[in-house]
Structure 1
Amino acid sequence: MNKSLLISLAISPIVSAAANTPNSNTPNIILFLVDDMGWQDTSVPFYNNEKTNLNKRYHTPNMERMAQMGVRFTEAYACAVSSPTRCSIMSGMNAARHRVTNWTLNYDEKTDAPSATLDIPDWNYNGIQPDTVTTAYNRKNTTPITSLPKILHDNGYYTIHCGKAHFGAKTTPGANPATMGFDVNIAGGANGAPGSYLGTEFFGKGSPQEVKGMEKYYGQDIFLTEALTIEALEALKKPIAENKPFYLYMSHYAVHSPYNNDKRFSDKYRGKFDEQLQAGLNENEARYAAIVEGMDKSLGDILDFLEKNPEVKQNTIILFMSDNGGQGLNNVRQGRENRDQNFPARAGKGSAFMGGVREPMMVYWPGVTEGNSLNDQRVMVEDFYPTILEMAGVTQYSPVQTIDGVSFVKALKQPAYRYERPIYWHFPNLWGETQNTEEGYGAYSAILKGDYHLIYTWETGQKRLYNVREDIGEQNDLSKVYPEIVNELSKELGNYLRQANAQRPVIKATQKVCAWPDER
Structure 2
Amino acid sequence: MNRPLIFLIALSVLTAFGCSEKTKSNKAVPDKPNIILFLVDDMGWQDTSVPFWDRRTPLNDIYQTPNMERLASQGVKFTNAYATSVCSPTRVSLMTGMNAARHRVTNWTLRKDVNQPMEDNHKTLSFPQWNVNGISPSQDTPRAAHATTLPQLLQGAGYHTIHVGKAHFGARETLGANPTNLGFDVNIAGHAAGGPGSYLGTDNFGNRKNNVWGIPGLEVYHGKDIFLTEALTLEAKKALDASLSKEEPFFLYMSHYAIHVPLMADKRFIQKYLDKGMPESEAKYAALIEGMDKSLGDLMDYIEEKNIVDNTIILFMSDNGGLSAHARAGEKHKHNAPLNSGKGSIYEGGIREPMIVKWPSITKPNTVNDDYLIIEDFYPTILELAGVENYQTIQKIDGVSFTEKLKGKDEAIQDRPLFWHYPNEWGVSGPGIGAFSAVRQGDWKFIYFHESKTMELYNLKEDISEANNLIEQHTDKTKVLAKTLSDYLVEVGAQMPKYKETNKKVPLPIELF
Shorter-chain TM-score bucket reads: over 0.9
Bigger mean CA deviation after superposition, 411-420 or 78-87:
411-420
CA contact (8 A) 1:112 1:429 kept: no
Partner of 1:230: 234
Partner of 2:309: 313
CA contact (8 A) 1:375 1:415 kept: no
CA contact (8 A) 1:38 1:355 kept: yes
For 2:31 and 2:246, locate their aligned partners in 1 and report how far apart those are by CA, in whole Å. Answer: 16
For 2:478 and 2:391, locate their aligned partners in 1 and report how far apart those are by CA, in whole Å. Answer: 38
> Which consecutive unaligned segments of at least 5 residues does structure 2 have?
1-22
Partner of 1:245: 249
Match of 2:286 among 285, 289, 298: 289
Return the offset for 1:517.
1.4
- Write out aligned runs for 1:414-429 (5 A): 414-417=408-411, 419-420=413-414, 421-429=416-424
- Indicate the SS of the match to 1:378: strand
For 2:264 and 2:452, locate their aligned partners in 1 and report how far apart those are by CA, in whole Å. Answer: 39
For 2:200 and 2:345, locate their aligned partners in 1 and report how far apart those are by CA, in whole Å. Answer: 30
- Indicate the SS of the match to 2:371: coil
Partner of 2:428: 433
Partner of 1:257: 261
Partner of 1:501: 493
> Which consecutive unaligned segments of at least 5 residues does structure 1 have?
1-13, 273-279
1:241-264 alpha-carbon deviations (Å, 9 max, x no partner): 221000000000000011111110
- Write out aligned runs for 1:88-99 (5 A): 88-99=93-104
Aligned residue pairs, count: 485
Return the offset for 1:15.
7.8
Identity of aligned residues (%): 53
CA contact (8 A) 1:71 1:375 kept: yes
Q: Which amino acid aligns with 1:345?
A: L
Match of 1:475 among 467, 473, 479: 467
Partner of 1:119: 126
CA contact (8 A) 1:377 1:419 kept: no
- Indicate the SS of the match to 2:274: coil
Partner of 1:371: 365
For 1:302 and 1:512, locate their aligned partners in 2 and report how far apart those are by CA, in whole Å. Answer: 52
The normalised TM-score by structure 2 is 0.93
Match of 1:17 among 21, 26, 38: 26
Partner of 2:6: none
- Write out aligned runs for 1:120-519 (5 A): 120-130=127-137, 133-135=138-140, 139-206=141-208, 207-272=211-276, 280-310=277-307, 312-329=308-325, 331-339=326-334, 341-417=335-411, 419-420=413-414, 421-434=416-429, 436=430, 439-519=431-511
Greater Rg over alpha carbons, structure: 2
- Indicate the SS of the match to 2:77: strand
Return the offset for 1:451.
1.2
Is the counterpart of residue 28 in structure 1 residue 24 in structure 2?
Answer: no
Structure 1 19/228 Cα, relative in aligned 2: closer, same or farther at 3 Å?
A: farther
1:5-39 alpha-carbon deviations (Å, 9 max, x no partner): xxxxxxxxx9852242xxx4311100000000001
Return the offset for 1:220.
0.5
1:32-57 alpha-carbon deviations (Å, 9 max, x no partner): 00000001000000011x22100100
Return the offset for 1:336.
2.1
1:73-116 alpha-carbon deviations (Å, 9 max, x no partner): 01000000000000000000000000000000011121252211
Partner of 1:6: none
Is the counterpart of residue 52 in structure 1 residue 19 in structure 2?
Answer: no
Match of 2:44 among 38, 57, 70: 38
1:273-328 alpha-carbon deviations (Å, 9 max, x no partner): xxxxxxx4200000000000000000000000011122x11100000000000012
For 1:353 and 1:70, locate their aligned partners in 2 and report how far apart those are by CA, in whole Å. Answer: 28
- Indicate the SS of the match to 1:513: coil
Return the offset for 1:396.
1.8
CA contact (8 A) 1:102 1:112 kept: no
Q: Which amino acid aligns with 2:33?
A: P
Return the offset for 1:134.
4.1
CA contact (8 A) 1:107 1:170 kept: yes
CA contact (8 A) 2:139 2:146 kept: no
For 1:182 and 1:141, locate their aligned partners in 2 and report how far apart those are by CA, in whole Å. Answer: 22
For 1:201 and 1:27, locate their aligned partners in 2 and report how far apart those are by CA, in whole Å. Answer: 38
Return the offset for 1:416.
3.9
Q: Which amino acid aligns with 1:235?
A: A
- Indicate the SS of the match to 1:93: coil
The normalised TM-score by structure 1 is 0.92
